[in-house]
Amino acid sequence: MCGIVGYLGIQNPKTIIIDGLKKLEYRGYDSAGVAIIHDGKTKRIRAQGKLKALEDKVQNEEFNGHVGIGHTRWATHGAPNERNAHPHQVGEISLVHNGIIENYLEIKEELLAQGAIITSDTDSELVAHLIWNEIQKNQNLLQSVQNILKRIVGAFSIVVLWEKSPNELVAFKDGPPLIVGLSKDKSNDEFFIVSDVQAALVHTNRFVYLNDREVVHIKDHSISYYNADGEKLNKPESILDWSTDMVEKMGFEHYMLKELYEQPRSVANAMAPYIDTDTHTVKLTDIGFDAETVFKKIDRVIFVACGTSFYAAMIGKYLIEQICRVPVDTDVASEFRYRRPVIPKNSLVISISQSGETADTLAAVRLAKEHGAELLSITNVAHSSIDREAAGHMYMNSGVEIGVASTKAFTSTLAILNILALQISKARGALAPVSEKQYVQNLLAVPGQIEVVLAYDKYFSEAAEQLKKYKGFLYLGRGVSYPIALEGALKLKELAYMHAEGYAAGEMKHGPLALIDDNMAIVVVAPTDELLDKTISNLQEAKARGGKIISIGTGENKSLKSMSEYYLSLPHSLWTTNPIISVVPLQLMAYHLAHSLGYDVDQPRNLAKSVTVE
């Protein structure tokens, strides 16, 4: 949601913090700010709007201190204006916050009764007041933070700076991610506290991941970690091998476009650890638990995820039920966590999350854990909160995804789900070697097939001008193409701000048909399979009512082509991998429509990449 950068060290905090915030802007971009010590005083500069506004404001500002904090905001409490931008400052305390303080009303009333002057509409400022009240009594930053921890309820990551102690930072987390970066050369000359490692990756590869209710205290050249009871902790350090190139645009106009083009490689990377390319078989290895043992004993699979990751889960259901004959439930995590779900014995709960930090998915995973379920996480970010909660781990291996709309993580997930279905079936002795080989060979062809589909890029950039005129878009598909229709509609909504609905093609006559006239475009995903004829009948019904058809089919499908305004031909593939290929034209279409309408493709309005509040 919001992005945090804290820095204490020998370099210029202004540059480090602003550059770090640039890497985190995907988390929130309605306002930004910094508080850096200068001449022993806190110099706080904030700006409404994107980070560029702050960058312009601080450009000619001098800071001679060695410590500072910065923030890029996605508003929860209080409008996105400068008054509500972080850092919040109360007395000598400045603070940045990511998350929500649930009991803020009660705290606010108490502070107002004590005569506090509250200058913003945020819940975050109240925490600064609490710390300031404490520190005036005890003159100890760590102690003050530890004292107020029990007072605040919610989901938060907070970094605090005390003007009087310009070689010190304290941070704590209960919910949204917070990671400490240590100096690369082990000199302890500098420390970073960031919401995402990307913000410090150019400076170091040494990171320590904070768990919930942990406090970190950095002072002078030393660092200590504590639990909520104030007991000292020994925290393991992780070395990250992501290169900084992986987070740059590499010549593409937008991160999203770069990520679309990375898909042949990212899908190949996702599959690589799990496939034996000599024998064309899937590996059943230790993935945190012994995959063969766990997959053999399960009676049910339950997927939990949100948004695009949830649509991937829906495809996972088709794959696992049809290939393994194991019953599968799929749940939107925000529903699962509150509906008192029945989680039978021997259930495997699979969470899908690109960021590994989505609050609802994390809560759903924790609930499943309490019920004793076996947990498998599919994430793109190793060591993320969801990844750490699970016993079994599979990784998307997509590299950093910056574009707020998820693309390459989705296709990588679909590749992983294909593999998982084969692994489960194999562990249960239900996968004939000849079928395994055929499925795997088909999977190995996918990166090349995506490359073929990416050639539609030019076609869509030209078609975008025409497609702009439609008032609404109905996306249709059957079977595994149904979740792809949902995903195509989501991409168009979030990027081009156009009304779009995804529907199971067979459901069209149960309501949406009433919407159809010649202002409505119907985007249909109709690969050649046993459901094709039924989908074509549905299209006839729509066309008869004036709907304009954009269709995606396999090869030269004459009947589909003849009824369509636009027809895109996909390479031949099995039904299992068809969704990985057929989503690509829909991603391109949303990208080009949004771009031609002049919208910010990488940072659509009101959204954030990592949704760490519920």
Helix axes 578-596, 408-427, angle to 10 degrees: 170
**Window contacting ligand F6R (CB under 6 A); options: 5-13, 164-172, 290-298, 302-310:** 302-310
Provide the minimum distance between the beta carbon of 283 and ligand F6R in the complex, in angstroms, as a whole number.
Answer: 25
Cα distance between residue 180 and residue 115, in whole Å: 36
Paired tokens of 268: 């190949």
Which helix (H) or strand (E) segment holds residue 491: the answer is helix 481-496
Is 354 an interacting residue with respect to ligand F6R (CB under 6 A)? yes
Provide the minimum distance between the beta carbon of 312 and ligand F6R in the complex, in angstroms, as a whole number.
Answer: 8
Is 309 an interacting residue with respect to ligand F6R (CB under 6 A)? yes
Paired tokens of 515: 């919407």
**x/- map, 539-578, ligand F6R, by CB under 6 A:** ----------------------------------------
User: At a CB cut-off of 8 Å and minimum separation 6, what does 319 contact?
Assistant: 417, 418, 420, 421, 480, 576
**Is the Cβ of residue 355 or residue 603 nearer to ligand F6R in the bound state?**
355
486-525: contacts with ligand F6R (CB under 6 A): 490, 494
At residue 455, what is the residue type? A
**Window contacting ligand F6R (CB under 6 A); options: 307-315, 390-398, 422-430, 547-555:** 307-315
Instruction: Tell me, yes or no, if 2 is annotated catalytic.
Output: yes
Provide the minimum distance between the beta carbon of 407 and ligand F6R in the complex, in angstroms, as a whole number.
Answer: 8
Provide the minimum distance between the beta carbon of 212 and ligand F6R in the complex, in angstroms, as a whole number.
Answer: 17
Which of 122, 347, 355, 564 touches ligand F6R (CB under 6 A)? 355
Helices in 262-301 by DSSP H: which ranges? 263-271, 291-297
- How many residues at the interface with ligand F6R, by CB under 6 A? 15
| Exposure letters 159-173 (e unless 16+ CB within 10 A, then b) | bbbbbebbebbbbbb
Question: Per this entry, what is the length of the chain?
Answer: 614
Residue 45 contacts residue 229 (beta carbons within 8 Å): no
Instruction: Tell me, yes or no, if 324 is annotated catalytic.
Output: no
Residue with the closest Cβ to ligand F6R?
307
Residue 486 contacts residue 523 (beta carbons within 8 Å): no
Cα distance between residue 65 and residue 450, in whole Å: 50
**Which one is catalytic: 22, 23, 493, 609?**
609
**Is the Cβ of residue 494 or residue 602 nearer to ligand F6R in the bound state?**
494
Which of 405, 422, 570, 583 touches ligand F6R (CB under 6 A)? 405
Which of 358, 377, 576, 596 touches ligand F6R (CB under 6 A)? 358
360-389: contacts with ligand F6R (CB under 6 A): 361
Cis before 87 (ω within 30):
yes
Distance of CA 245 to the CA centre of its chain: 20
Match 């889960």 to its residue by tokens.
Answer: 313
Is 306 an interacting residue with respect to ligand F6R (CB under 6 A)? yes
Instruction: Name the site residues for ligand F6R (rule: CB under 6 A).
Output: 306-309, 353-355, 358, 361, 405-406, 490, 494, 610-611
Residues labelled as active-site residues: 2, 609
